[in-house]
Amino acid sequence: MSSQRFPLGGGFYVPAVLSLITVVYLISAIQIGPPMKDGNMTASFFPMATAVIMLIALVCAMVQEVKRKKGMKTEEGTEQESSALFSKSYAGISLGAIGVVLLTAGYLLAFDMIGYIVSTFSYVLLLICLFAGELKKNWVMKLIAAVVITSVGYLLFEVFFQVRLPTLWSQ
């Protein structure tokens, strides 16, 4: 294996920064108390579980990016990009990462204004299209995935956690 270095971009650094933020969040959740007490979940259970799952996903994203960068090197040392969206970058951050940040910012703004269902469905569908390509290919599966993810989130918060989510009709 060559000891040649390869540059890492936003595909690595954005998850790395998010990992640091998630570790701080996890430490805060741990300070709340134990996740289980007398066989029941406590207030720290879901924040801790969420942080652990997020850390696992972020580490996987970073490892995948390192593998992708290594695989992009050819014998001549040139890079071959698989996707035009992720090949261009600004200040070391890929357009895909910039797209995710902008979509997430839009989602956060829309969440309270138009409600959970409309904003989450739109956000999930746009993220799927961003990563999977255009909407025209497998559009039925993309719509089904967006509906399922939105529905599961709704059931999780409204039914299990009994957290009232904003809706378009409650504004």
Q: Where are the alpha helices (DSSP H) in the chain?
A: 10-32, 45-72, 84-87, 95-114, 116-132, 139-154
pTM: 0.54
Question: Within 13 Å of residue 125, how many CA atoms lie on the same side as its CB?
Answer: 19
DSSP-assigned states of every residue in 52-69 = HHHHHHHHHHHHHHHHHH
| pLDDT category of residue 87 using cuts at 50, 70 and 90 | low
Domain ranges in the chain are 9-78, 81-171
Q: What is the pLDDT of residues 91-148, one digit of tens each?
A: 666 777 778 888 888 888 888 889 889 999 999 999 888 877 666 778 888 899 999 9
Residue 141 tokens, joined: 């599966």
According to the model, what pLDDT value does residue 170 have? 61
Q: What does the pLDDT look like over 26-73, one tens digit per residue?
A: 888 888 888 778 877 777 777 787 888 888 888 888 888 888 777 765
